[in-house]
């Protein structure tokens, strides 16, 4: 499998590794990890660093009873059992082709979900995660479909699950995770051959910027 070219930034991976990322964003990152050995290594290293920092914290003073019990064990030459290695977080891909972290949020294969049209050539399944204005959803774009030009009031995370899309900055394929903010003004176009299915999380509504499309699409639910 070709490895993804687009990854979450180090800060997002750090938040993921220490468990502080909100559930919708954590779902996107966990799903990206199923495609991306590079990010899996980063997360494993960050978790190892976090574990080492915790171990370096000053220990609680031992009670006299505990101390003498420990000394007795040392006298007997016994060594404490090594702590079991922490399992690496490596989610698997299930047989239906949906990465396992996402699969646990779905009740059917992608093709059998209740897709709702939201714009020309575009459908969505809302995952019902997070609290408004945060939205987590699957987006399905027909081959060649054009998303109206827009920017972002907050952050958007978009992970390609099938097919691909492109904008003026590049092309995005299976496993690519694109993080956009208000510095990005773009007009994504789905692949002509296959269209595109994405896992999409936004923390604010998109802001349309494309002339007459702005007035047309303002009425769409984004
Ligand atoms: Zn990655």
- What separation in Å is there between the alpha carbon of 209 and the centre of ligand 1? 30
Decide if 54 is inside a domain: no
What's the domain count of the chain?
A: 1
Which residues form the domain of 144?
A: 100-217
Question: Domain for residue 184, yes or no?
Answer: yes
Residue with tokens 């939201």: 118
CATH of the domain at 137: 2.60.120.10
Ligand 1 midpoint to CA 12 (Å): 11
Ligand 1 midpoint to CA 104 (Å):
21
Measure the CA–CA gap between 69 and 197, rounded to whole angstroms.
60
Q: Note the helical H segments in the chain.
A: 10-17, 23-35, 37-56, 64-75, 100-103, 212-217
Residues of the chain with pLDDT under 50: 62, 66-67, 69-71, 73-95, 212-213, 215-222
Q: Report pLDDT digits (tens) over 77-108.
A: 443 443 443 333 333 344 457 888 998 898 87
Q: Is residue 73 part of a domain?
A: no
Q: Flag whether 74 is in a domain.
A: no
What is the spatial distance between Cα 149 and Cα 37, in angstroms, rounded to a whole number? 33
Q: Is residue 61 included in any domain, yes or no?
A: no
Q: pTM for the complete prediction?
A: 0.74
């Amino acid at each position: 499998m070709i490895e993804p070219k687009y990854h979450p930034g180090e800060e997002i991976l750090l938040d993921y590794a220490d468990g502080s990322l909100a559930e919708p964003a954590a779902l996107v990152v966990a799903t990206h990890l199923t495609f991306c050995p590079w990010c899996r290594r980063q997360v494993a290293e960050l978790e190892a660093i976090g574990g080492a920092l915790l171990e370096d914290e000053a220990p609680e003073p031992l009670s006299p009873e505990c101390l003498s019990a420990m000394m007795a064990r040392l006298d007997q030459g016994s060594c404490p059992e090594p702590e079991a290695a922490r399992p690496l977080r490596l989610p698997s891909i299930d047989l239906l082709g949906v990465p396992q972290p996402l699969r646990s949020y779905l009740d059917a294969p992608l093709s059998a979900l209740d897709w709702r049209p939201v714009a020309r050539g575009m459908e969505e399944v809302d995952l019902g995660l997070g609290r408004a204005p945060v939205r987590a959803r699957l987006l399905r774009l027909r081959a060649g479909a054009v998303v109206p030009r827009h920017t972002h009031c907050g952050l958007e995370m978009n992970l390609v699950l099938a097919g691909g899309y492109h904008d003026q900055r590049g092309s995005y394929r299976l496993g690519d995770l694109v993080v956009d903010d208000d510095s990005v003004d773009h007009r994504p176009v789905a692949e002509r051959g296959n269209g595109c299915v994405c896992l999409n999380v936004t923390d604010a509504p998109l802001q349309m910027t494309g002339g007459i499309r702005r007035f047309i699409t303002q009425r769409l639910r984004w």
